[in-house]
Structure 1
Amino acid sequence: MDRSFYQFVLSFRGGKKDDAKAVFAEAMFKDHGFPKDVKSFDVLSRYIEEKADEEMPSVVFDELYEEYKERYE
């Protein structure tokens, strides 16, 4: 994978307010502690679970990570 998960998800920013992926991307962008260079599912998943931000739900993370994996593996 050439791009980090963070870089991939940024491509969803600016979407409609009712688009869960766009909302996730915006919340992730505003979260200055988000691991920006990480590609590992386990590390990212743990961060999402511990952060427990309602705008970054784990179900949306799972969907985004699956897309990320399909595109960059």
Structure 2
Amino acid sequence: MRSFYEFLMTYRGKKHPDDQSRLADWAFRDHNFPKHSSDYHEISNYLEWNSPFSNALKIFDELWDIYSF
């Protein structure tokens, strides 16, 4: 199974950014993001402490549902 970060990178670099691409672009630039993790709690905890924008956790949960399906 690929890491969540690898999955998230498929949302990167949109010409007209949406919240999913904003989260992906931020994770790409954040050198401390848990790039090799596939653990919901590890990534969720990281985002709780380092949230790049107000609804980032909501977007993460939406993307996690797609990722884990």
Using the size of structure 2 for normalisation, the TM-score is: 0.90
Question: 1:46-65 counterparts in 2 under 5 A?
Answer: 46-54=45-53, 57-65=56-64
Tell me how many residue pairs correspond in the alignment. Answer: 68
- The reply to whether residue 11 of structure 1 matches residue 10 of structure 2 is yes
How far did 1:10 drift? 0.2
Structure 2: stretches of 5+ with no match in the other structure: none
Residues 40, 65 of structure 1: alpha-carbon distance in 2 compared, 3 angstrom cutoff: same
Displaced runs of 4+ in structure 1, greater than 6 A? none
Using the size of structure 1 for normalisation, the TM-score is: 0.86
Identity over aligned residues, as a percent? 34
Cα RMSD for the two superposed structures:
1.4
Aligned residue in 1 for 2:26:
27
- The reply to whether residue 44 of structure 1 matches residue 49 of structure 2 is no
Residues 56, 33 of structure 1: alpha-carbon distance in 2 compared, 3 angstrom cutoff: farther
How far did 1:52 drift? 2.2
- The reply to whether residue 68 of structure 1 matches residue 55 of structure 2 is no
